[in-house]
């Protein structure tokens, strides 16, 4: 049984972490300040988990004092650069708060196993390293359908190179997990991976956040600041939702890719950086570049290797495998006894289209765990999904809409109640286009957006202009 020291001044986080670790059979000692932590005998512990900011100083002070005992640093997004510095000082890893319980346990188990490896030598150590990789996979991606198996194969090939990668996929499909897999399987795995959501940073701040700034570069720049690109030096920079990056920042990013150098805002000096760039988007960058909304030269620089992450509705029975894994995770997180899905719940999970993909499934499962009756299988009603709306267009209508030929005369049309099929199509589009996107309209009709556009043209239904 491993001995773990937790150093955290927020009582709720400290208590949660202690219970989480104890539930996974670890002995835990917890303190709320740096002085009490320094008073401990670090040789008695197998791992130290410390917050970065503590009363009396920084958790990084424990790294040198801990000797051979590994230190895992917890940090918030605002202190991300400091966490990277902590790793350079000798911390084995850092984890962002608020942390995911499964992510924390995976990190703890991996660090403990790696610590055990460090006391081994030669061939045995190498064999154990392979065991770590198999027991504690870093991808976190669940899936066994053909598209996912192909994706895994591509990841293993691309990860060994420094090629720039563009991950395409709908929102909620798990693009960041793919980026983490690329990093962890690369030669840069021991260096930091910095993740940036380009859509979450205000446009006025994004250049400063990415490339840093000099003191006095603009109002409020009271000190020199390192950018996230510089913080990722030697490691991987993951830019999520890169389609939202302003054109000015795109030009600077292009220089990073072409010249391998950055220049802080307000500086006249450039400096070299060695980063492997992985970008992700749910938008069509080629289409955006054609409209002038994304630099074409940057698009071609990014699109060296493209990985496509399929939406959940195209992954077959993966959805059931994911739902079961999420059910176990939610039960552990909420300290609930093991639960199961009823037959109607499994059927609803299989039939629903999951427009929000894995993120929506995770929320639905967590909601079901909260609302379900104790001791009873989870019923479909607790998932909060409505599969009727996804079936509300008949199969005959879908087949007719998918047909490539123009609509024929009215005397050859099939009837759908009191409406012909093309009348039904017109009625459905006109009734729903004000509150549904073109993507949602096409999905409900069971056709592609291109087919929807073609039917609009043939039936004389212009697309409603956005206000």
* 98: alpha, beta or left? (left if phi > 0; alpha if psi -120 to 50): beta
Mean pLDDT of 431-441: 82
The structural domains of the chain, ordered by start, are 3-135 (3.40.50.2300), 146-308 (3.40.50.300), 316-386 (1.10.8.60), 392-459 (no CATH)
| pLDDT of 26 higher than 90 | yes
How crowded is residue 90: how many other Cβ atoms within 10 Å of its Cβ?
Answer: 12
- pLDDT, tens digit (0-9, with 9 covering 90-100), for 246-268: 898 899 899 899 988 888 888 87
Given this model, what pLDDT does residue 131 score? 53
| pLDDT of 398 higher than 90 | no
Mean pLDDT of 211-230: 80
Lateral strand order in the sheet of 27-31:
27-31, 3-7, 47-51, 71-75, 93-96
- pLDDT, tens digit (0-9, with 9 covering 90-100), for 72-98: 988 764 455 566 667 767 788 778 777
* Confidence grade of residue 464 (pLDDT, cut at 50, 70, 90): low
- pLDDT, tens digit (0-9, with 9 covering 90-100), for 277-317: 999 999 999 999 999 999 999 999 998 899 999 999 899 88
Exposure class string for 283-292: b at 16+ Cβ within 10 A, else e: eebeebbeee
- pTM for this model (two decimals): 0.59
Angstrom distance (rounded) from CA 341 to CA 163: 43
Q: Among the listed ranges 81-85, 250-254, 385-389, 418-422, which one has the minimum average pLDDT value?
A: 418-422
| pLDDT of 407 higher than 60 | no
| pLDDT of 323 higher than 90 | yes
Instruction: Report the DSSP beta bridge partners of residue 271.
Output: 262
- Cis amide bond preceding 98, omega within 30: yes
* DSSP code of residue 314: G
Strands (E), 344-385: none
Given this model, what pLDDT does residue 120 score? 57
Mean pLDDT of 145-157: 84
* 301: alpha, beta or left? (left if phi > 0; alpha if psi -120 to 50): alpha
Report whether 90 contacts 83 (CB < 8 A): no
Angstrom distance (rounded) from CA 302 to CA 304: 6
Determine the 3-state secondary structure of 416 from DSSP.
Answer: strand
| pLDDT of 389 higher than 50 | no
| pLDDT of 178 higher than 90 | yes
Report whether 230 contacts 262 (CB < 8 A): yes
Given this model, what pLDDT does residue 141 score? 83
Angstrom distance (rounded) from CA 27 to CA 4: 6
């Amino acid at each position: 049984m491993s001995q773990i020291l937790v150093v955290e001044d927020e009582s709720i986080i400290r208590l949660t972490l202690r219970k989480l670790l104890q539930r996974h059979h670890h002995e835990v000692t917890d303190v709320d300040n740096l002085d009490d932590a320094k008073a401990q005998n670090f040789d008695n512990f197998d791992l130290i988990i410390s917050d970065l900011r503590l009363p009396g100083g920084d958790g990084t002070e424990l790294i040198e004092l801990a000797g051979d005992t590994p230190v895992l640093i917890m940090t918030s997004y605002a202190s991300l650069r400091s966490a990277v510095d902590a790793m350079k000082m000798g911390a084995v890893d850092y984890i962002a708060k608020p942390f995911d319980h499964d992510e924390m346990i995976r990190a703890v188990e991996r660090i403990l196993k790696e610590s055990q490896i460090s006391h081994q030598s030669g061939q045995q150590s190498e064999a154990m390293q392979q065991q770590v990789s198999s027991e504690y996979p870093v991808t976190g991606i669940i899936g066994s359908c053909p598209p996912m198996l192909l994706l895994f194969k591509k990841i293993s090939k691309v990860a060994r190179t420094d090629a720039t990668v563009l991950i395409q996929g709908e929102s909620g499909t798990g693009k960041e997990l793919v980026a983490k897999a690329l990093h962890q399987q690369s030669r840069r795995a021991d260096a930091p991976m910095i993740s940036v959501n380009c859509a979450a940073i205000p446009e006025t701040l994004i250049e400063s956040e990415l490339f840093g700034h000099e003191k006095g570069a603009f109002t409020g720049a009271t000190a020199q600041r390192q950018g996230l690109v510089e913080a990722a030096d030697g490691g991987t920079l993951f830019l999520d939702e890169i389609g939202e990056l302003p054109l000015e920042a795109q030009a600077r990013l292009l220089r990073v890719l072409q010249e391998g150098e950055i220049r802080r805002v307000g500086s006249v000096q450039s400096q070299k950086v060695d980063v492997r760039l992985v970008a992700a988007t749910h938008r069509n960058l080629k289409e955006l570049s054609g409209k002038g909304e994304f630099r074409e030269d940057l698009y071609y620089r990014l699109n060296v290797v493209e990985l496509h992450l399929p939406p959940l509705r195209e992954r077959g029975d993966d959805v059931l495998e994911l739902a079961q894994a999420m059910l176990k995770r939610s039960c552990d997180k909420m300290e609930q006894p093991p639960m199961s899905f009823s037959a109607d719940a499994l059927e609803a999970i299989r039939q629903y289209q999951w427009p929000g993909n894995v993120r929506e499934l995770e929320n639905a499962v967590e909601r079901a765990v909260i609302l379900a009756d104790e001791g009873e299988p989870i019923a479909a009603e607790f998932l909060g999904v409505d599969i009727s709306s996804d079936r509300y267009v008949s199969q005959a209508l879908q087949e007719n809409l998918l047909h490539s030929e123009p609509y024929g005369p009215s005397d050859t049309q099939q009837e759908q109640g009191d409406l012909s099929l093309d009348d039904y199509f017109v009625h459905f589009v006109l009734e729903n286009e004000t509150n549904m996107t073109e993507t949602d309209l096409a999905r409900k009709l069971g056709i592609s957006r291109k087919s929807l556009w073609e039917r609009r043209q043939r039936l004389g239904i212009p697309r409603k202009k956005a206000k």
